[in-house]
Amino acid sequence: MSPGEVRLLARLAALDLPPEQGTLLGDAEVLELAREMSAILGHVRALSALDLAGVEPTSHGMPLPTALRDDVAGERLAREKALAAAPQPVDDGFAVPKVVE
Amino acid sequence: MKSIAELDAALASGSTTAETLLDATLAKIEATKTLGAFLAIDPSGARAAARAADARARSGGRLGPLDGIPLALKDNLVTEGVVTTAGSKILDGWIPPYDGFVVRRLRAAGSVLVGKTNMDELGMGSSSERSAYGPVRNPWDVARVPGGSSGGSAVAVAARLVPGSLGSDTGGSVRQPAAMTGIYGLKPTYGRVSRQGLIAFASSLDQIGPMATTPEDLAILYEAIAGHDPGDSTSLARPVEPVREAVRAADVRGLRIGIPAEYWGEGIDPEVRSATDAAIGALREAGALTVPISLPNTAHALSAYYLIAPAEAASNLARFDGVRYGPRVADPELRAMFARTRHAGFGAEVKRRIMLGTYVLSAGYYDAYYGQAQRVRTLIRADFEAAFGSVDLIATPTSPIPAFPIGARTDDPLAMYLADVCTLAVNLAGVPALSAPAGFTQNDLPVGLQLIGRWLDEGTILRAAGALHARTPHARRAPPMF
């Protein structure tokens, strides 16, 4: 994995700024991440060599029926409680930087 | 510190009170702060719960075996009004607005929840060194790790601060620290215990489980938290069989124990091997039979796990964005605010796993990595299904190595991941498993035996643990200073 790929991944994962705004990651940190992730991918890559044609994927260890509860109103968190831990509550919502001009 | 069952008897007879137990617990937690076991204590909530338990005891209305018993919770279990961080700066100072399912169950059972235990950040680690609030230390040797990620919950029990605790287990995070600290830890069948109110790491693998000093206590805690919850769509609507009596009877005559060759190969420390061999020998003496078996896809479990778990984590951790809870790092632009908040809030291991998960889920790589890992998961599940055709349970070492020195593996993520090599396949398959104290190394470090059961058959592995407990002294040994 190259330092460029690490920087792209960090942006995709919202761990680094959009490209036009610079970067939060130092070169040394990016090199270290590239080295570590290459080592991990080198290990797990062995799986791609297995011939698993015809094997169905498993998403859960226990086969689970689709769980739909009855369509009735349940208990809800009161608005003040839901907003109590917000870093920037405003009136009856969560404030975020302006996204629409 | 006595066991839950013993304290229950003492509370029922009136020879002690919940407040007396709480006072002793709080004093001991204060005196052992250097272990780093706790992140938050709730003295006022615990006091109120203890007084209510004592009032019930006086009026002859005790609620059951947990009424008045002090317990600790891993800090990824949300508790209304009590700071919950999951060991991460991304939730620094967060006070949840509700109790998770298991927390409500334990409160309803009358237990006294004393505090929240330290852990690897968001459950990602095998040593409890990756907490943003400092490492947890092993009471058997404070220069060593206690295992992880439920290291605080393990140490709270091992150092006899509380008789029981809850942890969570995504790849071994209850069993492996239980092994490294000389206590019992159970990961129930996937879906047995509701994950509502558990801060998610990898949703198809996460399961909450109890930790305690006896198999009977494990059974008491398991019975208290297991069962259907409509609040978790993966919670199983299946009856939970009572297991406590079977644990006490501890009858393993005729039980067939599979010994999978793949778990005893290279990488298993010789002292771990001899202790676990001896524990299996004790089960044989109690009347169980051992059968050599094979779980041929074991070698692929580590790779499959380190593709599936980061992929799910990358999705789950998208919720931490500085909008609804946790600290925010301000920026006039929304995407930059997300990035600054997440960059400042997550530690190195969490970032690494989010990026790894993002990579394996990205277009062009999805099928080669994530898809392939899910197909391997099918093979691993089929291995267990085939094995359980001829045996009732499976025995392996819990951890390939005893507790290692703090700092010894932090520079090499792969070396750290290998500490979970014996426990990961269980989560991928969804089967229940526990770790039982199997003995000690020459340096007095605990070794754990892992007992793996059929889907929904927690009873058989708990029964076997009961037999082991009756025939071996290891679990009764507390660390000398605690």
Q: Which helix (H) or strand (E) holds A90?
A: strand A89-90
The terminus-to-terminus CA distance of chain B in angstroms comes to 10
Of B97, B189, B300, the CB nearest to A77: B97
Smallest Cβ–Cβ distance between B204 and the set A44, A59, A97 belongs to: A59
Sign of CA dihedral B126, B132, B134, B136: negative
Mean pLDDT, residues B153-170: 98
| Distance of alpha carbon B53 from alpha carbon B63, whole angstroms | 8
How many other CB atoms are there within 10 angstroms of residue B347's CB atom? Answer: 19
The mean pLDDT value for B459-468 works out to 98
Distance of CA B152 to the CA centre of its chain: 10
**Which chain A residue shows the shortest CA-CA distance from B369?**
A48
A93, pLDDT greater than 80: yes
Q: B15-35 pLDDT, tens per residue?
A: 999 999 999 999 999 999 999
Q: Chain-centre distance of CA B79, in angstroms?
A: 18
Q: Please give the residue that has the higher pLDDT: either B17 or B411.
A: B17
Residues in A touching B373 (Cβ below 8 Å): 44, 47
Contacts of A38 by beta carbon, 8 Å cutoff, 6+ apart: A1
Give Dmax over CA atoms of chain B in angstroms: 70
Burial of B251 (0-12, 13-18, 19+ CB in 10 A): middle
pLDDT of A28 over the 90 cut:
yes
In this prediction, residue B1 carries a pLDDT of 67
**Distance, first Cα to last Cα, chain A:** 38
**Is the per-residue pLDDT at A75 higher than 90?**
no
Per the confidence metrics, is the pTM higher than 0.80?
yes
Strands B38-41 and A89-90: unpaired
Residue B328 · residue B91 · CB < 8 Å: no
Residue-level pLDDT at A74: 84
Task: State the average pLDDT over residues B169-182.
Answer: 98
For an interface test with A, the pick among B350, B358, B428 (most A C-beta atoms closer than 10 Å) comes out as B358
Across the range A31-37, mean pLDDT stands at: 94
Instruction: Provide the pLDDT for residue B417.
Output: 84
| Residues on chain A touching B431 (C-beta within 8 angstroms) | 61
Instruction: Tell me whether residue A26 is exposed, middle or buried, using C-beta atoms within 10 angstroms of its C-beta: 0 to 12, 13 to 18, 19 or more.
Output: exposed
- Report pLDDT digits (tens) over B61-91: 999 999 999 999 999 999 999 999 999 999 9
The Cα angle at residue B237 between residues B235 and B243, in degrees rounded to 5: 95
The per-residue pLDDT for range B205-233, each reduced to its tens digit, is 999 999 999 999 999 999 999 999 989 99
Angle at B305 between CA B293 and CA B291, to 5 degrees: 10
Is there a contact between A14 and B335 if contact means CB atoms under 8 Å apart?
yes
Cis peptide before B362 (omega within 30 of 0): no
B404 closest CA partner among B180, B158, B151, B145: B145
Contact B372 A36 (CB under 8 A): no
Q: Which residue of A has its CA nearest to B84?
A: A85
Q: Say if the Cβ atoms of B358 and A13 lie within 8 Å.
A: yes
Contact between residue B194 and residue B462 where contact means Cβ atoms under 8 Å apart: no
Mark yes or no for CB contact A67/B234 under 8 Å.
Answer: yes
CB atoms within 10 A of CB B25: 26
ipTM score = 0.95
Residue B273: pLDDT over 90: yes
The Cα-based distances of B323 to B10, B109, B341 in angstroms read: 48, 35, 10
Q: Per residue in B327-368, pLDDT tens?
A: 999 999 999 999 999 999 999 999 999 999 999 999 888 988
According to DSSP, the residues that pair with B475 across neighbouring strands are none
Question: Which residues of chain A lie closer than 8 angstroms to B377, CB-CB?
Answer: 57-58, 61
In chain A, the largest separation of any two C-alpha atoms, in whole Å, equals 57
Inter-chain touch B333–A61, beta carbons under 8 Å:
no
Residue-level pLDDT at B458 = 98
Contacts with B327 from chain A: Cβ below 8 Å: 87
Using CA atoms, how far residue B412 sits from A36, A98, B119, B125, B418, in Å, is: 8, 42, 19, 12, 10
Mean pLDDT (chain A, rounded): 91
- Closest Cβ opposite residue A94 in set B324, B327, B430: B324
Partner-chain contact A57 B377, CB within 8 Å: yes
Question: Which positions in chain B touch A37 (Cβ < 8 Å)?
Answer: 352, 355-356, 359
Q: Which two tokens stand for residue B126?
A: 């095998």
Looking at beta carbons, which residues of chain B come within 8 Å of A59? 204, 374
Instruction: For residue A64, give the nearest of B191, B358, B368 by CB distance.
Output: B191
Distance from B190 to chain A by nearest Cα, in Å? 6
- pLDDT tens figures, B111-127: 999 999 999 999 999 99
The whole-angstrom distance between B100's CA and the closest CA on chain A is: 13
Beta carbons of A55 and B378 less than 8 Å apart: yes
Interface test with B, best of A47, A76, A81, A92 (most B CBs within 10 A): A47
Q: Per the CB < 8 Å rule, is A43 touching B314?
A: no
SS3 string, chain B, reads CCCHHHHHHHHHHCCCCHHHHHHHHHHHHHHCHHHCCEEEECHHHHHHHHHHHHHHHHCCCCCCCCCCCEEEEECCECECCECCCCCCHHHCCCCCCCCCHHHHHHHHCCCEEEEEECCCHHHCCCCCCCCCCCCCCECCECCECCCCCCHHHHHHHHCCCCCEEEEEECCCCCHHHHHHHCCEEEECCCCCECCCCECCCCCCCCEEEEEECCHHHHHHHHHHHECCCCCCCCCCCCCCCCCHHHHHHCCCCCCEEEEEHHHHCCCCCHHHHHHHHHHHHHHHHCCCEEEEECCCCHHHHHHHHHHHHHHHHHHHHHHCCCCCCCCCCCCCCHHHHHHHHHHHHCCHHHHHHHHHHHHHCCCCCHHHHHHHHHHHHHHHHHHHHHHCCCCCEEEEECCCCCCCECCCCCCCHHHHHHHHCCCHHHHHHCCCEEEEEEEECCCCCEEEEEEEECCCCHHHHHHHHHHHHHHCCHHHCCCCCC
Please state whether B427 falls in left (phi above 0), alpha (psi between -120 and 50) or beta.
alpha
- The percentage of residues in chain B with a pLDDT greater than 70, rounded to a whole number, is 100
pLDDT reported for residue B413:
83
| C-alpha distance from A2 to closest chain B C-alpha (Å) | 13
Do the beta carbons of residue B109 and residue B53 sit within 8 Å? no
**Are B431 and A61 within 8 A, CB to CB?**
yes
Distance from CA of B240 to the nearest CA of A (A): 16
Structure tokens at B384: 């267990």
Least confident piece of the model among B104-108, B302-306, B413-417: B413-417
Catalytic residues of B: 74, 149, 173
Q: What is the CA radius of gyration of chain A?
A: 22
Q: How many angstroms away from the CA of A78 is the closest CA of chain B?
A: 9
Contact B359 A10 (CB under 8 A): no
- Collapse the DSSP code of A95 into the 3-class scheme (helix H, G, I; strand E, B; otherwise coil) and give the result: coil
Which of A17, A44, A62 faces B189 most closely, judged by CB atoms?
A: A62
Strand partners, A90: A93
Nearest to A43 among B234, B303, B427 (CB): B303
Per residue in B280-301, pLDDT (tens digit) is: 999 999 999 999 999 999 999 9
- Rounded to an integer, the average pLDDT of B299-305 is 95
With beta carbons under 8 A apart, name residues in chain A contacting B414. 39-40, 43
Give me the helix-helix angle, B18-31 and B43-58, nearest 10°. Answer: 150
Say if the Cβ atoms of A47 and B372 lie within 8 Å: yes
| Mean pLDDT score of chain B | 96
Asked whether residue B470 carries a pLDDT value surpassing 70, the answer given is: yes
| CATH topology classification for B4-294+383-476 | Amidase signature (AS) enzymes (3.90.1300)
Of A67-81, B115-129, B273-287, B387-401, the poorest mean pLDDT is in A67-81
**Vertex B367, ends A1 and B189: CA angle to 5°?**
105
- Given this model, what pLDDT does residue B418 score? 85
**B28, B63 Cβ separation under 8 angstroms:** no
What pLDDT, on the 0 to 100 scale, is given for residue B419? 85
B455 CB neighbours in chain A (<8 A) are 61-62
Chains A–B, number of C-beta pairs less than 8 Å apart: 179
Average pLDDT over every residue of B440-467: 98
